[in-house]
Structure 1
Amino acid sequence: MTPVSTDLTTELLLHRAGTKSYWRGLTYRDAVLSLRVHSRYVAARVRGGDDEAYAVELSWSDTHLVGSCTCPHGTEGFFCKHCVAVGLVLLDRGETVPPPDAEDVELKDVLRALPPEALRDLLYEQAAGDLKLRARIISAL
């Protein structure tokens, strides 16, 4: 089986956004106000043309680059110019969107710090709505 790439490239950004949003995103690189690479995703804030700051997240869903943004175009489900700008800033910095199977160190650290009762409550809440998880928990006895 050939490994599938989760490499961030300008070509991929162009493909995901389309020509118009890609070219507009090129002019928004300086509008990226903050950017943080987490264990499995990237979070950023980007100033829009109306000076409102939009929240942007980039991640992988299997081998597909996924972008979400709180701008009007992004909330309609499009990979917008703000997503493009974040991707381009990552590339400029020599960084990338972490792969979907990266170890989630942040989550592990938080789970280690939670008291056992809080963990049980969270797990119960999640498993009550997820039949596969419920079955995994019950079969673990």
Structure 2
Amino acid sequence: MIVVSTTLTTDLLLHRAGTKSYWRGLTYRDSVRALRVHSRHVTALVRGSEDALYSVELSWAETHLAGSCTCPHGAEGFFCKHCVAVGLVLLERGETVPPPDAEDVELRDRLRSLPAEVVRELLYEQAAGDLGLRARIMKAPKEVERAPR
């Protein structure tokens, strides 16, 4: 069995971004704003040239570091200098991108706070287009009716 690491490193950032975007990302570390580590991903705003603010998200897609950014280069699907800057700031702070199998506390808390009918409707919408999820729901045990007290 091959174990693949989901460890954030400068080498990984360089590999994902390429030399040019990596070196440009080094100069954007001071432009990272509103960095937040969530249960399964990281979000931040990065001030770009001409004071544009770009939204960045880093997460793991299985063992692959995924980055998205609203800048023109990121919008084309590239791991851009803004993604690199966020990754470097995380490393400087001794933080990382949470692993893909981390407990998503935020999601659990939000689901608990929603009315049951809203959760059912959201689940229905998702399962209607996802045959695997639909099959899991159809196999799930029904709630046992409780006798009135």
Q: State the TM-score, normalizing by the size of structure 2.
A: 0.92
Alignment size in residue pairs: 141
How far apart in 2 are the matches of 1:140 and 1:42? Answer: 32
Letter in 2 for 1:136: R
Cα RMSD over matched residues? 0.8
How far apart in 2 are the matches of 1:106 and 1:3? Answer: 28
Q: How does 1:38-117 map to 2 (within 5 A)?
A: 38-117=38-117
Instruction: Find the residue that maps to 1:50 and give its secondary structure.
Output: helix
* Residue in 2 that maps onto 1:24: 24
Runs (4+) off by over 3 Å: none
How far apart in 2 are the matches of 1:106 and 1:113? Answer: 11
How far apart in 2 are the matches of 1:20 and 1:127? Answer: 42
Structure with larger Rg: 2
**1:132 counterpart = 2:126:** no
How far apart in 2 are the matches of 1:63 and 1:110? Answer: 27
Q: State the TM-score, normalizing by the size of structure 1.
A: 0.97
Where structure 1 has 5 or more consecutive residues not aligned to the other structure, the ranges are none
* Residue in 2 that maps onto 1:13: 13
Identity of aligned residues (%): 78
